[in-house]
Structure 1
Amino acid sequence: MAFPTTPRQLHLGVDLSDAGAHPAAWRTHGSQGQRLFDAERLQHLVEVAQRGTLDLVVLDDSFSLQPSRSTTLRGRLDAALVAARLAPRSRGIGLVPTVATTHTEPFHVSKAIATIDHVSGGRAAWQVSWTTDEQDAAHVGRGPAPTEADAVAEAEEAVEVVTALWDSWEDDAEIRDQATHRFVDRAKLHYVEHDGVHFAVKGPSITPRPPQGQPPIVVRVGSDASFGLAARHADVVRISATDRDEALDLRLRLRAAAAAAGREPGDLRVLVDAFVVIGPDRASARARLDLLTELEGVEWDTGSLTHVGTAPELAETFLDWSAVGAADGFVVRPASLHTDLDVLADGVVPLLRDARAFRDRYAGPTLRDQLGLAHPANRYAAIA
């Protein structure tokens, strides 16, 4: 296996949703399908990812029962609550719950993510999502489902409100002066005074500024509207690309759009979704995928980078895509978590370390440390 002489440092995340990315993963031997909602199982998965010093784990969520997947599996736990439970039971690794902005108030989102950041010591991020599904709207009962354009516009406004609320406490607002009975310096609490199309929020937050200042914003790009949202607001962008050239084009366009929006494009981390079936040889990996397909009766159409092969081959693909600037890293979506996650941590990661393309320890206590993102200034402190 040939390694680049000057490799770029990769970022790696893993999606811990359900039993794995393949619809039939929960039906396989050893998948622990009966423990899908068991908190100890989820903690074990995080520990495995942490053993590989991965940057982050993603927890999916929605208002519907697995809305975008052809699977017989039904049901999920609340992603933000799961992340809050995992926060004090983990170290180093980022926790990224998916929280929808449709049918949800930004004030609630703000304090939920801020709380996870406090409990974890600065390892929270927020994967922004939205819904245009009528059934989702009926579940909540607040009105009809929006169009895609309206849903993304609402999501963008929600991001603006949430991030403003995170800044509504300055970093040193808590003074805890027992002699004067002053717990906070009220001059360092700020009204956000947002009056927009979808939300009117006065503020300040009831939760102190998160340890990271601003927990990273994660956006999955799947449309022109989401592309714009990601370029203007995301710290981490998840893209789907079936080949290296497609990924390179998307990453370059995202960086250009971020620059056009007045942002530093170097602050954007573009991660490609990678669906993986890892085996000791290609034939074994293919046989396992064939078994999964037979169990569920559907072909596995991922729409993104798909690897069916060995750990060295996957490491080589990651290094190859990274070397040409097609990706800053990858969000790995294991076909079966109980099989592929261990191989990722113990088989793929050591090869990336050998190539000097991945860390062997966490860079610091926060997710921003792992991603190489600076602690952001408080917008209100700057004008005070």
Structure 2
Amino acid sequence: MTSNSSTHPGNRGLLLLDIDGPGSHPGADRAPAANVAAALTPGYLRQAVQAAESAGFHAVTFPDPGLPEDREPEKIGRLNALHRAAFAGPLTRSLALIPEVDTVYTEPFHIATQLASLDYVSAGRAGWLVTASPHAADAAAVGREPVSGDRLAREAADAIEVGRRLWDSWEDDAVIRDVPTGRYLDVDKLHYADFEGENYSVKGPSIIPRPPQGQLPVLVPAGLLEAEALATGAADALLVSAPTPELLASEVSATRAGLAASLPSGGAGPALIVELDVILDSRGQTAAERLAALEEHATWVSPHARFAGTAAELTGLLAELLTVADGIRLHPAVLDTDVEELSRVVLPGLRRRDLLAPTTPDATFRDRLGLSRPASRYAAAAIQGATS
């Protein structure tokens, strides 16, 4: 496992934006001026990620469209999260790109190699938002029985471990391109992952050279992984939710305290990133009026706290949360409308208070999280063996 490092409360934090089609509210496609067909096009995605970068967000996340049991049917036509993140790679320079990828119904070897490719496409700005679906429709799509409970947590932890081993399976200098001898690789610097899990085994090595970051940052919803996996460094960041905005700060503090009790003495835990649904006063309508209009078409059911109010009020709330959390992920109800207010009022307000980390072009996602680039575990083991 890679070692973790978390920013500390009081440091300047990160802002992440979730890009979910026309918006996170299931009725976003019915909002004024909404164009569902356009929301499924490359041009819309290009506009969305470039607007997020121009506004000063540090990262964007891409939820997976899922299957009908899990998501609205009209969203099934989207490309999956990894494809959208890869498309956004060449279009951006400072945004971290974090696709949501399921660990239970996707082959771990494929996850690891596709994410490594994304890290190359984005020049080291890729991350992985881990999910573990309990839905029967997702299981049926790949011919498996649904997974739940402790087994869901174990499979998620296994998939993360496989990914980390495969990313390390090529040493950094494994590609030698030795023209005189006709060798592209030094085969002694490729290693077997040799993972044996409860439901599968993975031999390796990867088919992709080691990613630019060495190890991609892994984001995991708080509560998904067991304490043992967190203690051994499975997650680089945890996404923290609460029923209401007023409870978020105490939930962050409780999560941090729980981590401190389970981590090795002196170990730095994962960063803590707050989850918040957002709908703002905009274009002559109050947030309450906008929400009521959207709720006429569909009910917004979400595990996240929800803020509805003015951009100035949201700025104050985020400022308070950034004193205890390392970052915040915002889920705008209607992407175009709410990002307009976030860009115009909220992010400038937080920067005036010096609460946000800088958005340096070409910085890696690990840089953003304050994580050093780790050596391959297999290279380190070989060096240790040679000197012992």
TM over 0.5: yes
Q: 1:257 to 1:165 in 2, by over 3 A?
A: farther
Asked if structure 2 preserves the Cα contact closer than 8 Å seen for 1:20 and 1:335, the reply is yes
CA drift of 1:365 comes to 2.4
The Cα shift of 1:273 comes to 0.7
User: Structure 1 residues 26, 250: CA separation in 2 closer, same or farther (over 3 Å shift)?
Assistant: farther
Q: Name the CA distance, whole Å, in 2 between partners of 1:184 and 1:59.
A: 34
CA-based RMSD: 2.3
Q: How do 1:226-265 residues align onto structure 2 when only pairs under 5 Å count?
A: 229=229, 232-241=233-242, 242=244, 243-256=247-260, 259-260=263-264, 263-265=267-269
Indicate the SS of the match to 1:121.
coil
Which residue of structure 2 lines up, in the alignment, with residue 155 of structure 1?
A: 156
Q: Compute the displacement of 1:342 (Å).
A: 2.4
Cα deviation, 1:53-79, whole Å, max 9, x if unaligned, reads 322111111541361x5x564413211
**Does the 8 A contact of 1:221 with 1:230 survive in 2?**
no
Structure 1 residues 89 and 370, CA, compared in 2 at 3 Å: closer, same or farther?
same
Which consecutive unaligned segments of at least 5 residues does structure 1 have?
Answer: 1-5
**Residues 284-293 or 119-128, more deviating:** 284-293
Correspondence for 1:382: 380
Q: Which residue of 2 aligns with 1:373?
A: 371
Equivalent residue, structure 1, for 2:68: 65
1:100 equivalenced with 2:102 (yes/no): yes
Q: After TM superposition, give the deviation of residue 93 of structure 1 in Å.
A: 0.5
Question: Secondary structure at the residue paired with 1:233?
Answer: coil
Q: Are residues 303 and 206 of structure 1, via their aligned partners in 2, closer, same or farther at CA, if it must alter by over 3 Å?
A: closer
SS in 2 for 1:375: coil
Give the whole-Å Cα distance in 1 for the aligned partners of 2:103 and 2:191: 23
Who is 2:12 aligned against? 9
1:116 aligns with 2:114: no
- Quick one: distance in 2 between partners of 1:254 and 1:86? 36
In 2: Cα distance, 1:312 partner to 1:29 partner? 23
- C-alpha displacement of 1:248: 2.9
Tell me the secondary structure at the aligned position of residue 297 of structure 2. Answer: helix
Shift of 1:261: 8.8
Identity %: 36
How big is each residue's C-alpha offset from its partner over 1:245-282, in whole Å with a ceiling of 9 and x where there is no partner?
432333323531562498422xx211111111122599
- The one-letter amino acid of 1:329's match is G
Q: 1:72 to 1:146 in 2, by over 3 A?
A: closer
Partner letter of residue 47 of structure 1? Q
Q: Give the match for residue 350 of structure 1.
A: 348
Is this contact kept in 1: 2:252–2:272, CA < 8 A? no
Question: For residues 298-313 of structure 1, what are the structure 2 equivalents within 5 Å?
Answer: 298=299, 300-313=300-313
Distance change in 2, residues 1:252/1:222 (3 Å): closer
Residue of 66, 87, 90 corresponding to 1:88: 90
Q: 1:126 to 1:303 in 2, by over 3 A?
A: closer
Q: Given that residues 166 and 210 in structure 1 are in contact (C-alpha distance below 8 angstroms), is that contact kept between their aligned partners in structure 2?
A: yes
- Residues 1-384 of structure 1 correspond to what in structure 2 (within 5 A)? 8-61=11-64, 63-65=66-68, 67=70, 71=72, 73-75=74-76, 76-141=78-143, 143-222=144-223, 225=225, 229=229, 232-241=233-242, 242=244, 243-256=247-260, 259-260=263-264, 263-265=267-269, 268-279=270-281, 284-296=286-298, 298=299, 300-323=300-323, 325=324, 327-362=325-360, 364-384=362-382
Tell me the amino acid that sits aligned with residue 194 of structure 1.
Answer: F
Spell out, residue by residue over 1:181-201, the C-alpha distance to the aligned partner (whole angstroms, 9 max, x if none): 222222211111112222211
**What stretches of structure 2 of length at least 5 have no aligned partner?**
1-8, 383-388
The structure-2 alpha-carbon separation of the partners of 1:383 and 1:127, relative to structure 1 and needing over 3 Å to count, comes to: same
Aligned length in residues: 369
Q: For residue 375 of structure 2, what is the amino acid of its counterpart?
A: A
Task: Report how far residue 222 of structure 1 moved.
Answer: 4.6
Q: Which moved more, 1:96-105 or 1:255-264?
A: 255-264
Are the structure 2 counterparts of residues 262 and 182 from structure 1 closer, same or farther at C-alpha, using a change threshold of 3 Å? farther
TM-score for both structures, normalised by structure 2: 0.88
Question: Which is further off, 115-124 or 99-108?
Answer: 99-108
Residues 66 and 356 of structure 1, relative CA distance in 2, 3 Å threshold: farther
User: Matched residue of 1:368: which SS?
Assistant: helix
Please say if residues 92 and 367 of structure 1, whose CA atoms lie closer than 8 Å, have aligned partners that are also in contact: no
